[in-house]
């Protein structure tokens, strides 16, 4: 039985990935600084470890064949733009200690989870953005802080393969969403934030939208995400690869889809002073299809329905109401 480690297993994607790998017959060790928030982990073993520290990374990778490295300090655009030093410090320590410990402990494969935030800002100035190809990463101009540390770690993976023979894989996430993800507290992404606001809204209410709502994104449902991660790990492809949908939508459009799912009439109030990130970002899946013979297939509206229903249950259930009034 192949023994795998999922770091960041207490987080949204990591939690789903643990379940996916266990269902496929892997022995799974989950590691995080926290336990999963909403449902227990299905990992065979779960270790509470702070991976900023070298000795913890050695313990995490001991006896492991393959590492899925998802651990990171991150959140939504508001968090990313106001915590740059913390993000760069924490994630650099996690990343460097994790890959070096994997080398020392003779791990066979190491998959690093990067981000579409590595793509240059000068290519993302229009809502009608041209879909971003993997080769567009250079000349570099990534998201300040978070994007730079992701891009640096991509190069580190390449060098560990070239110099040490550690088989590395690198995936660039494009806005992953779905049930069991953070939906409040500042760490949530836009689909979860909008689902929460609409779940809490009454008929004909007004919700706040950051920016003018015309900024565009593509979103990838969690089930497609974990399958794509697994397919890349099993492939022979060593270069960074996009993992996202190429279904572009504006934030205004995202609000309208969720309102339709909720069956509510909702108006928008724009806050131009809040962080809104780049004007447009979309995934070019040409290389993804060539390398994996596959691409994410769950349409945005189809993925938003279970996401909204789960968040609605969290914030509007009797238990949630009792907690809020306590």
Residue given tokens 């660039």 in the structure block: 172
Active-site residue, selected from the candidate residues 146, 160, 221, 308: 146
Q: Is 26 a catalytic residue?
A: no
Contact indicator for 242, 288 with CB cutoff of 8 Å: yes
DSSP SS3 for 104: helix
DSSP SS3 for 311: helix
DSSP letter string, 28-68: EEEEESS--SSS----SEEEE--TTSHHHHHHHHTT-SEEE
Question: Which residues neighbour 131 within 8 Å (Cβ) at sequence distance 6 or greater?
Answer: 246, 248, 282, 283, 284, 285
Taken as a whole, the chain contains a residue count of 326
Residue 164 has phi, psi (to 5 degrees) of -115, -10
- Catalytic residue set: 146
């Amino acid at each position: 039985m192949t023994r795998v480690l999922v770091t960041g297993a207490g987080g949204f994607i990591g939690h789903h990935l643990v379940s996916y790998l266990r269902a496929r017959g892997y022995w799974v060790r989950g590691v995080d600084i926290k336990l999963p928030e909403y449902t227990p982990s299905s990992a065979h073993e779960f270790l509470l470890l702070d991976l900023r520290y070298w000795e913890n990374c050695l313990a995490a990778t001991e006896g492991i064949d393959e590492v899925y490295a998802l651990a990171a300090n991150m959140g939504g655009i508001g968090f990313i733009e106001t915590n740059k030093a913390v993000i760069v410090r924490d994630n650099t320590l996690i990343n460097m200690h994790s890959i070096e410990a994997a080398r020392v402990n003779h791990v066979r494969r190491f998959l690093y989870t990067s981000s579409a935030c590595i793509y240059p800002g000068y290519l993302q100035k229009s809502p009608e953005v041209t879909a971003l190809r993997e080769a567009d990463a250079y000349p570099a101009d990534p998201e300040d802080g978070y994007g730079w540390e992701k891009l640096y770690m991509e190069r580190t993976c390449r060098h560990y393969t070239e110099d040490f023979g550690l088989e590395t894989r690198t995936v660039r996430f494009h806005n992953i969403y779905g049930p069991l993800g953070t939906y409040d507290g500042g760490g949530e992404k836009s689909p979860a934030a909008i689902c929460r606001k609409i779940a809490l809204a009454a008929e004909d209410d007004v919700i706040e939208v950051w920016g003018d709502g015309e900024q565009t994104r593509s979103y990838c449902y969690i089930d497609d995400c974990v399958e794509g991660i697994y397919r890349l790990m099993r492939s022979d492809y060593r270069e960074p690869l996009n993992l996202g949908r190429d279904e572009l939508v504006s934030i205004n459009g995202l609000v309208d889809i969720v309102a339709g799912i909720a069956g509510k009439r909702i108006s928008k109030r724009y806050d131009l002073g809040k962080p809104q990130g780049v004007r447009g970002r979309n995934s070019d899946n040409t290389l993804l299809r060539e390398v994996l013979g596959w691409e994410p297939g769950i349409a945005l509206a189809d993925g938003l329905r279970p996401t909204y229903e789960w968040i609605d249950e969290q914030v509007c259930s009797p238990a949630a109401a009792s907690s809020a009034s306590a």
